[in-house]
A = this chain, B = another copy of it.
Amino acid sequence: MTRFDGVQALVFDVFGTVVDWREGVARDAAPVLAGLGRRDIDPRAFADAWRRRYQPAMEECRSGRRPFTRLDVLHRENLDGVLRDHGIDPATLGEAALDDLNRAWHRLDPWPEAVAGLTRLKRRFVIAPLSNGNIALMTNMAKRAGIPWDAILGAEVAQAYKPQPEAYLRTAEILGLRPEQVCLVAAHNGDLKAARACGLATAFVHRPTEHGPEQATDLAPSEAWDVVARDFQDLAHRLGC
C-alpha cells in the first residue's frame, strides 16, 4: 500500500465499473422495442449492439478526423445506427422518444454496493468520475442514483477520450495534483494500463457480469495493479476508509 501514501484523489471509470449499463439500457429499450411490435429483439442484445458502436464513434474524435464531440451526441447517432441495423427507421419513433431513449445512459443504476463504497471512500479521498460520458450525463446519473461525487470530471472536461493520455494527465492537472497523487479505479485492464503509463496509481475492481453471464474479458487483473478489490466496499476496506 506504499504506492497509496500520496494518493489524494480517486477517479473512476463509470460505465461497467460504477454502473451496470447493460441492464439499464435493456430496461429502457424493452418497452420501446415492444411498442414498435419488435418483441423479437432481445433488449440486452440491443444494448450490446448499441455499446459496440461506442469505441468506433470515439475513435473518430481520438484520431482527429472529427473534433471532440460529447458522448450524448455520439450515443444519439449510434442509436440511429443500431435501430437501422434492426430494420427500424428512427423517424418512426420521433425525436422526443429517441431523445428519451438516448437518456437511458443518464438513468443507469449503480452496482449494488457502489454508492455505499463511494460514500466511505469520499471520507478520505476526493472522488470524481473520469468517464468518457459527458458532464450532463454524469451529473444526471449521479443525482438520480445518489452518487456522492466531489466533482464531475472526465472526457468533456479534458476534451479527450480515454485511453488518450490527455484524458488522464489533464484530469490530474485540473485537480491540482501530480499524476501519482491520483488513482484510477476501473474494471477494465486497458483503461488501467493507459493510466499507469501516465503515472497514475491503479485500482482494479472485479465486475464479472458487466457484459452478462457469458463475459469473457476483464475477469482478472492482467498486471500487478496497485490495488485489486472485489467491489467498492472491499476497496474502501483495503484503503483504510
Q: Which residues of A contact B (CB under 8 A)?
A: 72, 126, 128, 134-136, 138-140, 142-143, 149-153, 156-157, 174-177
Contacts and interface: CB of A to CB of B under 8 A. Distances in A.
State how many copies of this chain the complex holds: 2
A152 B171 CA distance: 13
Most B CB contacts (10 A, CB to CB) among A72, A152, A177 go to: A152
A135 B156 contact: no
A126 B143 contact: yes
A126 to B, nearest CB: 6
A135 B175 contact: yes
A132 to B, nearest CB: 15
A176 B70 CA distance: 11
B72 A136 contact: no
Given A135-B175, A136-B174, A176-B136, A150 B157 contact: no
Nearest to A152: B151
A153 B152 CA distance: 8
Contact of A143 (B138, B150, B157): B150
A151 B126 contact: no
A157 B142 contact: no
Given A135-B151, A135-B153, A140-B176, 4 more contacts: A135-B157, A139-B150, A142-B150, A150-B152
Contacts of A139: 126, 128, 150-151, 175
A135 B164 CA distance: 21
A156 B176 contact: no
Nearest to A137: B176
A174 B143 contact: no
A142 to B, nearest CB: 7
A37 to B, nearest CB: 31
A43 to B, nearest CB: 25
A3 to B, nearest CB: 23
Contacts of A156: 174
25 contacts: A72-B176, A126-B139, A126-B140, A126-B143, A134-B174, A135-B151, A135-B157, A135-B174, A136-B174, A136-B175, A136-B176, A136-B177, A138-B151, A139-B150, A139-B151, A139-B175, A140-B176, A142-B150, A143-B150, A149-B151, A150-B152, A151-B151, A152-B152, A156-B174, A157-B157
